[in-house]
Amino acid sequence: MTSAPVAAPTGLPRPYQSYTYAYPHKTAYRPLTPRPALKDLWAGECRRSLSLYLHIPFCEVRCGFCNLFTRIGAPGDLTGRYLDAVRRQAAAMREALGDEETPRFANAAFGGGTPTFLEAAELERLCDIAEREMGADLRAIPLSVEASPSTATADRLAVLVERGTTRLSLGVQSFVEEESRAAVRPQRRADVEAALARIREAGVPVLNIDLIYGIDGQTAASWRHSLDAALAWRPEEIYLYPLYIRPLTGLGRHSDARTADLEWDEQRLRRYREGRDRLLAQGYEQVSMRMFRRADAPPQGPDDYACQTDGMIGLGCGARSYTSTLHYSFDYAVSMREIRGIIDDYTATEDFSYALHGRRVDEDEARRRHLLQSLLQAEGLPVADYRLRFGSDPRDDFPAEIGALADRGWLADRGWLADRDEDRLRLSAEGLAHSDAIGPEFFSPAVRDAMAAYETK
């Protein structure tokens, strides 16, 4: 079950509620009855600018904070059988798209889990699936891959660079070993530094380092230590993630998900502001609450994909796919037992021509999604784009929600009511800091109800 948001004593919503990276949230998905055929779902959909995502649900360890769809290890030939299933799914997806309009992919990503859990030869297979089955030219589009320090080996990196990887994201989380242990992510600082050296030597154009704030025992000094250790590598991007403790995760077993830990909220906000200010002072530009990009970083390559409007094709049992009217995926779970069962079912599947779980996206949900995926970026929502797509003004569609943001000082321009020609709706610095509270306020009642009714498994 999802508990109701808890307000802080100030009357403001708690700052850390939900990371809104996709809407509707996957816990709002339900089994689809009847199961729609993929060829019907994608009939009439624009294929000129698609995103391709391949999901690998394996990790060498599972961090204590992690609620991603992943399992520890892959006994026997499981990775091979999993890639066989991904290939079958890709073939079914490509057949469903048909030949009337050749699909064009604007970008691609390998996520997880840990894609680099796969051996070098298996990464070659994964790239082959993207290129030969789906038709994505990985060397001509931005390709982002997630990795962990222990799996960022020279042979794997060589494959990824040769196949066109433009961005590699390394999950470091902390350069302080005591904090890594507290987050149930045991790793040695020396191993992290060695992995970073290999990545730089491999020549990946864009290196991203993930860091987490709010870890038990973390102080302003230890947080600054991790920030400076990351900055020493001059990464093109740095992501700052707040620690969340979720049900059924390693840390979640020892905490009450309904307890409002307001002191922890304040600690995390302090660490966020310290991190933000440090990165801005070091020549990074803030792209979102989490993402900071070095001002002189090279572009990854041409990318005309717009997440607000363009479709996404996800391959693998933890991936989502998006059409204009339906978001769909396979079943979702957090517990190890349930995840193992879903992976086993996926690898045994022969017929991938139907969507199994998902949620319909009507025009109201599309408006909410477009607004959220724009507003939560530092550059904000171009109001003209919203008007062109929906024929209305977002301030008329969501007057209470946007009015509340203005009243709190979370919008960059408080004159939004008087000036209807203002061409961009942007969050203030404090609004960006509260992105994880702003996102849920725009969720529809139906999505809220579905998320609340979801039984965690």
Please, what is the average pLDDT of the chain? Answer: 89
pLDDT greater than 80 at residue 4 = no
Q: What pLDDT is recorded for position 420?
A: 47
Q: What pLDDT is recorded for position 249?
A: 40
The token pair that represents 44 in the structure block: 């009439």
Cβ 86 vs Cβ 354: under 8 Å: no
Q: How far, rounded to the nearest angstrom, does the alpha carbon of residue 124 sit from its chain's CA centroid?
A: 24
Sequence-separated (6 or more) residues with CB below 8 Å from residue 409: 428, 430, 431
Q: b/e string for 334-349 if b means 16 or more Cβ within 10 A?
A: beeebbbebbeebbee
The per-residue DSSP string of 208-277 comes to EEEEEE--TT--HHHHHHHHHHHHTT--SEEEEEE----TTSTTGGGS-TT---HHHHHHHHHHHHHHHH
Q: What pLDDT is recorded for position 446?
A: 97
21-25, 118-122, 159-163: which has the minimum mean pLDDT? 21-25
Cβ 58 vs Cβ 317: under 8 Å: no
Tens digits of residue pLDDT in 66-108: 556 666 767 789 999 999 999 999 999 999 999 888 899 999 9
pTM above 0.85, yes or no: yes
Beta strand residue intervals within 96-250, DSSP E: 105-112, 143-147, 167-173, 206-213, 237-242
Cβ 358 vs Cβ 365: under 8 Å: no
pLDDT greater than 60 at residue 137 = yes
Neighbours of 396 (CB within 10 A): 9
For 180, 221, 267, 375, 413, the CA distances from 217, given in Å and listed in that order, are 10, 11, 11, 33, 38
Helix residue ranges, H only, 282-398: 336-348, 363-375, 383-390, 394-397
Cβ 210 vs Cβ 185: under 8 Å: no
Tens digits of residue pLDDT in 395-447: 999 999 999 999 999 999 754 444 444 588 999 999 999 999 999 999 999 99
Backbone angles phi, psi at 68, to 5 degrees: -75, 165
User: Residue 10: pLDDT band by 50, 70, 90 thresholds?
Assistant: low
User: Residue 303: pLDDT band by 50, 70, 90 thresholds?
Assistant: low
The total number of residues written for the chain in this structure: 457
Cβ 184 vs Cβ 65: under 8 Å: yes
Per DSSP bridges, beta strands 381-382 and 320-322 are unpaired
10-13-16 Cα angle (round to 5) = 120
Distance CA 457, CA 336 (A): 9
For 27, 34, 138, 151, the CA distances from 162, given in Å and listed in that order, are 37, 43, 10, 17
Least Cα distance to 122 among 87, 94, 148, 92 occurs for 87
